[in-house]
Amino acid sequence: MNIAQYIDHTYTKPDATRERVIQFCDEAKQYGFFSVCANPYWARLCAEQLAGSGVKTCVVVGYPLGANLSVIKAQETLLAVEAGADEIDMVMNIGELKSGRFDFCRQDIETVRKAAPKPIVLKVILEACLLTDEEKVRACEIAELAGADFVKTSTGFGASGATVEDVQLMRKTVGNRLGVKAADGIKTYVAAKAMIGAGANRLGCKHSVTIVNEAAKAKE
């Protein structure tokens, strides 16, 4: 298993500097991570730094609350794609999901899907720590109906990040039809393996270098 190819090397802190974003891109190229995941402002810089490397540019949208107007999420997505984004990680409207307005939630995701047509990869962040199991299942079903490619556990700004139980539930719900991305709180190779074993086929990690170095030592 090439653990690096599961990893979206993630740097979405509000105090992100140009130098640190470039550092994350350099690390992604060095270690062969699947993508660098960054805030929209840094989309063009990431795309430029990663050009020709095979590492994708992933951009978060409606981040981190999901409470932006759909038209704003769509415009943010269009600009990210124009700047070179290969993948979009959007936050669903969590409040409207919990309000039971499922049609709106689907339309919100569809609006972003239209702004990022395939082959752009669209992931929908559920913020699982705020949802009941029933809401998690419904959120996954809505994301699939709306044309998403992945469902994702967390933004990294919630009370907690990915859990094995949430990944298992999400994988059970979407089967092999969608990808499942486990994000936040994955700090070790052991934790990364547990998420993959639970059904994740992508990992959002800040501690990516530590994880791959631990993986290399485990093979020695």
- Which positions ≥6 away from 90 have C-beta within 8 Å? 60, 61, 62, 63, 66, 73, 77, 109, 112, 122, 123, 124, 125
Residue extents of the structural domains in the chain: 3-219
Q: Where are the alpha helices (DSSP H) in the chain?
A: 18-31, 43-50, 70-83, 94-98, 102-115, 133-145, 164-174, 189-198, 208-219
Residue 219: the pLDDT is 83
Catalytic residue selected from 56, 152, 193, 206:
152
- CATH node for 3-219: 3.20.20.70
Count other Cβ atoms within 10 Å, centred on residue 30: 13
Which tokens hold the place of 149? Answer: 């490619």
List, for the chain, all residue ranges whose pLDDT scores fall below the cut of 70.
none
Distances (CA, A) of 209 to 6, 62, 136, 165: 13, 27, 30, 25
Catalytic-labelled residue, pool 181, 184, 193, 206 = 181
**pLDDT score of 220:** 72
- Could you confirm whether 86 is annotated as catalytic? no
d(CA 219, CA 3): 12
Regarding pTM above 0.95, the answer is yes
Q: pLDDT by residue (tens digit) across 34-82? A: 999 999 999 999 999 999 999 999 999 999 999 999 999 999 999 999 9
Catalytic residue among 8, 89, 149, 166: 89
